[in-house]
Amino acid sequence: MSGAIHGGALWQPCVRIPEDYASVVAADVNDAWYPPAPAVMKALARWARHSNHSPDTSGGALARAVAGHFAIPEPSVRIGAGASDLLHHFILSTIGPGDEMLTLSPSYAEYARVAKFAGARVKRLRLNVNDAFEANPGAILAAVGKNTRLISLCNPNNPTGQVLNRPQMLEVMQALPKRTFLLVDEAYIDFAPEESVLADAPLFPNIAVVRTFSKAYAMAGLRVGFAVLGSSARKRFDRNARPPWPVSLLGLHAAEAALADSDYVARRVAETLRLKADLLRNLRAPSLPSATHYFLLDLQTTEITANRLDCLRSRNIFLRDFAGFTAGSGKRLSQRFVRITTQSRPANRRIAQEINRIISS
């Protein structure tokens, strides 16, 4: 498997026309397996023919809808082209040469990549495989040094699916030194909504929480996200220029429609977690506990290592290799785990059949 930091191998070379998706199992990306809500499809159909017009550059209507939906003061909300856009901007606004950014390992690799572009040093708090890569607030706070200007936490964590609960995250937020910003990436929090600190963020000056419509809202192709920022974090965010019109006309209207029909997301999340439970039962290898729709399959008790599953690509089944998440953790760990994202029932059947066949061969 490649050491790429993102999935999406299906684009090379399988999907050229929409019908091609039917033959591909894209379990290497954490996109939703289901389509966007009917209300979103309706909004897209309604607005598509107006694509000759520029969108509202401030994304004001969507910011108001986000504020209303999550009971957050509107001035704390910023709109962007997915969580990627917002977290890039925030990291580049908060750290520079001489600063340190603390992140976890394994975790989403993008934070470290951007921090390096900012000229900052990256410190990784190594999570222990024997604790199923569980993080804890005490260890995070103990790893904060005098040069730590930013902590980037993915919650739930990608690729482990482990979640710091809300009291644990609040513990970190309350003990944060004045000089340190905290970025909480809640890209997958719709799978554990009770653990979100989104509504708490405006009460803490140095906090930025980013959310996305790409995952549980099933809109990854539309590129819409938002951030909720405390007062100092907001000043930092606004200090650097942003390109105008970060989100397309279709993206803005689709996201507003999605928020208005968020029951759809709750139903799909519940359905997906049931599908995940079935898939876990059908796989002949254990996996680590996960709060999300993806999980780490643990091959340690089998006769195979992760690279034996590379051949599934030729059957259009794409799984995510672990190496891209574990800078510095060594080859042994990266060959022990593979990340799988829950798909539709038939696709899950294919995944289980093919993996079990290889494990038993």
Ligand X SMILES: Cc1ncc(COP(=O)(O)O)c(C=O)c1O
List of residues contacting ligand X (CB under 6 A): 30, 82-84, 108, 154, 158, 185, 187, 212, 214, 220, 225
CA torsion, ordered 67, 204, 80, 3, to nearest 10 deg: -130
CA dihedral sign of residues 305, 348, 315, 16? negative
Q: How far is the CB of 57 from ligand X (least distance, A)?
A: 19
- Token pair listed for 349: 């059947």
What is each CA distance from 141 to 182, 195, 335, in whole angstroms?
11, 19, 30
The residue at minimum Cβ distance from ligand X is 82
Q: How far is the CB of 111 from ligand X (least distance, A)?
A: 9
CB of 357 to ligand X, least distance (A): 28
CB of 325 to ligand X, least distance (A): 10
* Residue entry with tokens 């598509």: 48
Q: Which segments within 107-230 are labelled E, that is strand? A: 121-126, 148-154, 181-185, 207-212, 225-229
Which burial class, exposed, middle or buried, applies to 15 when counting CB atoms under 10 A from its CB (0-12, 13-18, 19+)? middle
Least CB distance to ligand X at residue 220 (A): 5
CA distance 87 to 185: 8
Nearest approach, Cβ of residue 208 and ligand X (Å):
13
Round to whole Å and give the CA distance between 135 and 153.
10
Closest by alpha carbon to 72, among 243, 220, 216, 186? 186
- For residues 77 and 352, which CB has a smaller minimum distance to ligand X in the complex? 77
Please say whether the beta carbons of 204 and 175 come within 8 A. Answer: no
Residue 299 CA to its chain's centroid (Å): 24
Structure tokens at 295: 């999980």
Closer of 247 and 306 to ligand X (Cβ) = 247
Cβ closer to ligand X: 8 or 205?
A: 8
**Pick 47 or 217: Cβ nearer ligand X:** 217
- Token pair belonging to 222: 């539309």
Nearer to ligand X, 32 or 359 (CB): 32
- Rounded to a whole number of angstroms, the minimum distance from the CB of residue 117 to ligand X is 16
Nearest CB to ligand X, comparing residues 187 and 359? 187
Nearer to ligand X, 154 or 351 (CB): 154
**Distance of closest approach, residue 216 Cβ to ligand X, in angstroms:** 11
3-class state of residue 27 by DSSP: coil
- For residues 108 and 237, which CB has a smaller minimum distance to ligand X in the complex? 108
Residues paired with residue 228 on neighbouring β-strands, in sequence order: 77, 209
